[in-house]
A and B are shown apart, each in its own frame.
Chain A
Amino acid sequence: MITTTLGDMDESLLVKTIGEIDNDTEFTQWVEYRLKGSDEVIHRSVNMQLKKSVFAAAEAASF
């Protein structure tokens, strides 16, 4: 069963689309479900891994 904007639906009733983005910033995988014959997305989930951490440089000053 897939949770959708129309309630839980059997996956066999839906058209599934998956995709991914892999760049310097992130690796992202997404999945979308639509009703057959419809362009309306009724479910979209995203799993994202961030690749860039935030970084602070600490430095002790010289005299």
Chain B
Amino acid sequence: MANSQAMCTKFKVDVMNGLHAFGASVIRAATTKDTFKAALYLASATYDASTTAYSATGEVSGTNYTAGGVAVTTATAPNSSGTTAFFTPSASIVYTTVTLATAFDAVLIYNDTAAGKNAVSVHTFGSQTITAGTFTLTMPTNDSSTGLIRIA
């Protein structure tokens, strides 16, 4: 049986679980999972792959919306299938009875436990407004091809 060059799938899952630190890391206070949040951003904002952390700049504001967004449910731990590691929030992300009058088109998922509120991912969509209503982001199927966050 020949050897094969590869990034080990276990490593991909472990990265999602914060196991490895090739550079200077942080002292974690516990082995419990972190808390993540989802913040909405105006269509005029400029959040992308270069975003390093949560910021209130360009964030939506309005009735019943709290700066920083809402908690992301992480009941299901990262997993892998084949050579792809994946993670998907285990429940919809819901902003209940809000009024967001200025168009928004992005959600930033970030680590709310980390002191730096480190960014995880930016997801964009068609511009929306909400009027005394609820904005629900329904999660895709949590697998290696459609999971919200994937490392292959």
Contact = CB atoms under 8 A, between A and B. Distances in A.
Interface in A47-61: 47-60
A18 interface: no
A61 B137 CA distance: 37
A36 B133 CA distance: 19
A50 B131 contact: no
Interface residues of A, number: 32
A23 to B, nearest CB: 8
A58 B152 contact: yes
| Interface of A: prevailing SS | strand
Contacts, number: 96
A4 interface: yes
Given A26-B125, A50-B125, A59-B7, A5 B148 contact: no
A28 interface: yes
A58 B12 contact: yes
Given A54-B148, A58-B151, A62-B5, A49 B126 contact: no
Interface of A: 3-5, 21, 23, 25-26, 28, 30-32, 41-60, 62
3 nearest A-B residue pairs (beta carbon):
A45-B133, A44-B131, A58-B7
